[in-house]
Structure 1
Amino acid sequence: MTVMAAWKQNLRLAARTASVSWPGIAQLRQRLYQARFRAGRYHCGNSGRYDSFQAAERALPAGLAGFDHTAMADIDHYTTMAGGFEPMPATEYPVLLWLRGALDDGARTLLDLGGYVGHAFRQYDRYLAFPDEFRWTVFDLPHITQAGQALSARHPTPRLRFTNTVDDGCGMDILLAAGSLQYLPENYLHERLNAWRKRPRHVIVQRTPLHMRQSFVTIQSVITRTGQVSFCPYSVAARARFIDGLLVLGYELVDSWEKARRLDVPFHPECHVETYSGLYFRLRS
């Protein structure tokens, strides 16, 4: 290492140390980040740590909140791509594997919890060729399901349906939660399953951040393709508690896998999540 390179390295180290030890520097950095975050400068950026989903809701910056508005229902993104939908990512193949097994087990109904405009159905159908009697029901917010129905009008199929009533999942064979649980309170899935007289035999959780030690909620900013910014609570459950909650309901954990995606909350290093989780549960006989 040259003298100049060593000097620059020491200068960077001193700067990092100063940001912690010099009075006011850390607070200034946090205020600058908060100002940029609230101005919508970060897509999928995170801010703050909160003890509950409701506390994060109360702390949302001014502007659009959540996903129930037209800015978040961008079906043109899907219809303008070649073939209408993106190629299957490699990390989705465990879901294909367990969906195939559920179909072979006789499953014919599925609730897609927070399934947006039904894009997962169209992706998986390419590989699994769902039978004519199969019914895939997307539960989501009204603006989103309206967009999904509009997309289905362009590409009709009787196998895909939409609902704004999550309890329509009672009695279905499969529940899929792919990238949606983090936008719901921590115990939402467990509470719904507990309330249902007949629970789905198969539960597949995909692309979900789970922390190895603790639960917390942060706030995420999402920049839409039209440039609008929406803020929403972003929930991270403690992994062991999340799994144990499903075991208590009569499920067994059959498989788990990871997606290479990190979660960081600036100024809260204790909230770091190294990878997102996939899990497959089956109801014990």
Structure 2
Amino acid sequence: MVNKIVNSSKRILRGFVENAPILRDFYYYHWLFPINPNLYRGVFRSFAEASAAVPASNPSGYNYDEIHNLSLNQNFGLDEIGKFKQIDYPILVWLGEIFKDRSTVFDLGGNTGNSYYAYRKYLSYPPAMQWLICDVPAAVKVGNELLKKFSSPGLSYTTNIADAEGFDIFITCGTLQYLESSLSELLSQLQSKPQHLIINHVPFYNGEEYVTLQNLLIVDSVNKTQIASYTPYKIQNRTNFIDSIEKLGYELADNWQQNRTCYIPFEPKRFVDAYHGFYFRLKIQPLHKIT
């Protein structure tokens, strides 16, 4: 009986807080953010400024064994490692079309191989396909261990984005928000640009670009502990992003949205109401007439 009264009181109090904007923001900023994953706080002009706001006692970033070792520590099979996510459906559609005449894939932020293993359940990979994943060293280390456990034709790993040189298809899902450099800056470094860009699950809005902090909440499955990793997280202007890619010679062939928001306490004008995906293809350059 006492527990029912306590739980009921908590629900009433939480409902009151959630419906009072100032109290709600204090609640999210000071109480929920430190103990929950995928919450955000603060608005910063740069990654350096955001990083300076991370408490000294907290790690920052994705390059930690605890994040990527889960599949090894729990002896996951391919069904768990390559679990297909509905947000990836547009990628599946466009890859199936592109694979008809292209077969090299550079996967920026592909983690330990999740997409490679998930998509092959639904797509017929070209026989001579190359799929190169670029990620942080901790993810690459685990990915190479998985190559020893599972048949993975054409799959390899790198930590160097310059290795995208010469690849036909460039994929990135849920990664651009963690990179200080813009995608256009990264692509500009390549001598030969990929023919196809598939970008998915990135937060955009219509205001000025800014950086916030996200709590990743690293779970250490071995020691049964949780560590809050506060990581710079970039929110871009959608129109400016599209313009920057088109200036490189690409045309926007498709775009879509996913139902996810990004709420920054005390910053209502910075609210992100959806995450976005795009498919760009390199324009065919007209042949010059010989006169």
Q: Which runs of 4+ in 1 moved over 4 A?
A: 32-35
Assess if the C-alpha contact under 8 Å between 1:75 and 1:117 holds in 2: no
Report deviation, 1:36: 3.6
SS of structure 2 residue aligned to 1:111? strand
Judge which range, 83-92 or 235-244, deviates more.
83-92
Q: CA 1:165 to 1:87, structure 2 compared with 1: closer, same or farther past 3 Å? A: closer
Are positions 1:16 and 2:20 aligned together? yes
User: Where in structure 2 are the equivalents of 1:25-104 lying within 5 Å?
Assistant: 30=26, 34-36=29-31, 40-62=34-56, 63-76=58-71, 79-80=75-76, 83-85=79-81, 87-104=83-100
What TM-score do you get using the length of structure 2 for normalisation?
Answer: 0.83
Counterparts in 2 of 1:179 and 1:157: CA distance versus 1, 3 Å? same
Q: Which residue of 2 aligns with 1:279?
A: 278
| Residue 125 (structure 1) aligned to one of 112, 120, 130 | 120
CA distance in structure 1 between the aligned counterparts of 2:261 and 2:82, rounded to whole angstroms: 22
Q: Deviations over 1:125-157 (max 9, x none)?
A: 111121231011110111110011112211132
> Structure 1's 155 and 75: CA in aligned 2 closer, same or farther, altered over 3 A?
farther
Moved more, 247-256 or 217-226: 217-226
* Stretch deviating more after TM superposition (249-258 or 83-92): 83-92
Distance change >3 Å, CA 138–CA 188, structure 1 → 2: same
- State the shift of 1:198 in Å: 0.1
- Structure 2 counterpart SS, 1:220: strand
Distance 1:214 1:162 in 2: 34
Asked if the contact 2:82–2:116 (Cα under 8 Å) also holds between the matched residues in 1, the reply is: no
- Partner SS for 1:66: coil
Contact 1:250/1:284 (<8 A) preserved: yes
| 2:115 is aligned with 1:111 | no
Give 2:287's aligned residue: none
2:144 maps to amino acid: Q
Question: Contact conserved, 1:75 with 1:151, CA < 8 A, in 2?
Answer: no
Corresponding position of 1:218: 212
Shift of 1:64: 1.1
Root-mean-square deviation over aligned CA pairs: 2.4
Which TM-score applies when normalising by structure 1? 0.85
Cα separation, 1, equivalents of 2:69 and 2:135: 14
The alignment of Structure 1 onto Structure 2 pairs a total of residues equal to 263
- One-letter amino acid matched to 1:271: R
C-alpha change, 1:251 and 1:52, in structure 2 (3 Å) is same
Q: 1:200 to 1:215 in 2, by over 3 A?
A: same
Q: CA deviation at 1:214?
A: 2.4
Matches of 1:97 and 1:170, distance apart in 2: 24
TM-fit CA distance, 1:88: 2.7
What SS class does the counterpart of residue 267 from structure 1 fall into? coil
**Structure 1 residue 157 corresponds to structure 2 residue 152:** yes
SS at match of 1:129: coil
Measured in 1, the distance between the counterparts of 2:41 and 2:229 equals 13
Measured after TM superposition, the shift of residue 101 of structure 1 is 1.5
Q: Tell me how far apart the structure 1 counterparts of residues 128 and 150 of structure 2 sit (CA, whole Å).
A: 18
Taking only the aligned residue pairs, the percentage that are identical comes to 29
Structure 2 residue matching 1:128: 3-state secondary structure: coil
Correspondences of 1:230-245 after superposition (within 5 Å): 230-245=229-244
* Match status 1:268 vs 2:264: no
Unaligned 5+ residue runs, structure 1? 1-7, 20-24
Cα offset for 1:33?
5.1
Tell me, yes or no, if the aligned pair for 2:107 and 2:170 is still in contact at 8 Å: yes
- For residues 150 and 70 of structure 2, the distance between their equivalents in structure 1, rounded to whole angstroms, comes to 12
Deviation at 1:86, TM superposition (A): 5.7
User: 1:134-283, aligned counterparts within 5 Å?
Assistant: 134-185=129-180, 187-226=181-220, 227-283=226-282
> d(CA) in 2 for partners of 1:76 and 1:127?
22
Q: Deviations over 1:216-249 (max 9, x none)?
A: 1100011123212211100011000000000000
CA distance in 1, matches of 2:50, 2:233: 8
